[in-house]
Amino acid sequence: MASFPEYEAHDATGLAALVRSGEVSPAELVEAAVERIAARNPALNAVVHPMYERARAQAVDPQLPDGPFRGVPFLLKDLKAEDAGEPSTGGSRLLRDFRATHDGALVERFKRAGLVICGRTNTPEFGIMGVTEPELYGPARNPWNPEHTPGGSSGGSGSAVAAGMVPAAHGGDGGGSIRIPASCCGLVGLKPTRGRVPLPPAYGSWNGFVVEHVLTRSVRDSAGMLDCIEGPAPGDAYTAPAPSEPFLASYARAPERLKIAVCTEALFGDDTHPDCRAAVEEAATLARELGHDVREARPSFDKAAMTRAYLCVVAAGTAAAIRVTAAQRGRRVRAREVEPKTWLMRTIGEALSAGEYVEQLDVIARDCARVASFFADYDLLLTPTLARPPLRVGALDSALAERVALQVFRAAPIKAVLFKVLDEMAREPMAPNPNTQLFNMTGQPAISLPLYWSADGLPIGTQWVGRSGEEGRLLSLARQLEDARPWAGRRPPEFRD
């Protein structure tokens, strides 16, 4: 018999309320989480580093912080979230033996909130891909259909929350890596405004594209967690405007009538699957029924130039991460020590000159201004989160193509083929996930909401994008949509009590 059978009937906020009232103890909640991870993880490969004994000890520690989420089980993504004494492999063989020497600022805030960390979750190598299939740990799988991906790069976190192992888990988003798994797994995934929460290490921030937060089942959990972690850490290169009120207060307030632009076209791609288009059309109809002004419109920007600029920044960031790792190890990194796609991105990043990199940053700055001007006329933009339903595991396994590209690099002057390879990468690996990257580049907040399921029973997310600094407005609308079209009762049938 389960230690706390009602565990999955509550979100993180609800579990914390039970702890405060004395109806359940943190130890009981941790045992409930451990039971579910042990039972469900073998089929999903979501948790790659269990931390059961430490979690049990913390749950009974009188010094467990008395924060808003005291005693609630939680998982950290195995990428950049430094937790003293624990691994942070980034899904890479290169970092298999790495142990953090201290808690990062974000992890400190999670712990201060009272969360009990029960393990670390699967992620693609260095968080590069929109699916979670690292060679080090193997693929994570989607609880709605284990033949399909939970997305990436926070795919292990998305899978664990959707399967009911924990009510919330950490994620990071440098090009959609919170919103993509939220869409694939039927969850709430908010990417906050750039600078809203502590930044990852500089070499892992992709020029400020990466913003960290959580994946949750409820909107109020997303709002409450943001209240616990918001505010920059000392030395952060970016800061967001201070919120005018707690995010939970914004969540609780009904939104005013909003002017919402809707776009079903792929922002960085060429086409949108009918299921993803239908999800947006239904969401737009719901927003109109709720009294909002919904019109077809999209921001203007140079798609080809911005896609290339995004990939250049990611390639340079990958090269920097490998350089930092080489310095830590005291020797250079060899191609065979990382996955082909990682080495390809590293090779592109090393080939870029400083002038070419700055030129790409100028492209981004120009079109970010154009996108900002669009949001002077609209409060929000609605798009599909993804252009495809969740892919089958292995659908983006293009190791052969990556090896061919590396051979081309070795056989030809690298500058002659650099941008050709980047453009080809934009056509294949980015095609399923073309709608999220733009808002990492602009720094705007965006949230994926699970308002639609396909006829095959797979979740299809809708993305809602706001002006910089206006997470409160997104959360207010998200709560209204959640009330109108509740999703809490929709759970993967194979992974629930």
Q: Where are the domains of the chain?
A: 7-255+474-484, 303-374+397-427
Q: What pLDDT does 1 receive?
A: 41
Enumerate the β-bridge partners of residue 169.
75, 215
pTM: 0.96
The whole-number pLDDT of residue 404 equals 56
Our answer to whether residue 177 is catalytic in this structure is yes
pLDDT in tens, the chain (497 residues): 467 999 999 999 999 999 999 999 999 999 999 999 999 999 999 999 999 999 999 999 999 999 999 999 999 999 999 999 999 999 999 999 999 999 999 999 999 999 999 999 999 999 999 999 999 999 999 999 999 999 999 999 999 999 999 999 999 999 999 999 999 999 999 999 999 999 887 777 999 999 999 999 999 999 999 999 999 999 999 999 999 999 999 999 999 999 999 999 999 999 999 999 999 999 999 999 999 999 999 999 999 999 999 999 999 999 999 999 999 888 999 989 999 889 888 988 998 999 999 999 999 999 999 999 999 999 999 999 999 999 999 998 865 556 556 665 555 555 666 777 777 776 777 889 999 999 999 999 999 999 999 999 999 999 999 999 999 999 999 999 999 999 999 999 888 77
| Whether residue 21 lies in the annotated active site | no
What is the reported pLDDT for 125? 97
pLDDT of residue 203: 74
What's the pLDDT at 305?
A: 94
In this predicted structure, what is the pLDDT of residue 209?
A: 97
Catalytic residue among 88, 92, 153, 154: 153
177, 183, 250, 448: the active-site residue: 177
* Residue 448: active-site member: no
pLDDT of residue 397: 80
pLDDT score, position 18: 98
Which of 77, 111, 191, 341 is an active site residue?
77
Domain 7-255+474-484 superfamily per CATH: Amidase signature (AS) domain (3.90.1300.10)
β-sheet bridge partners, residue 99: 87
User: Which pLDDT value is given to residue 420?
Assistant: 73
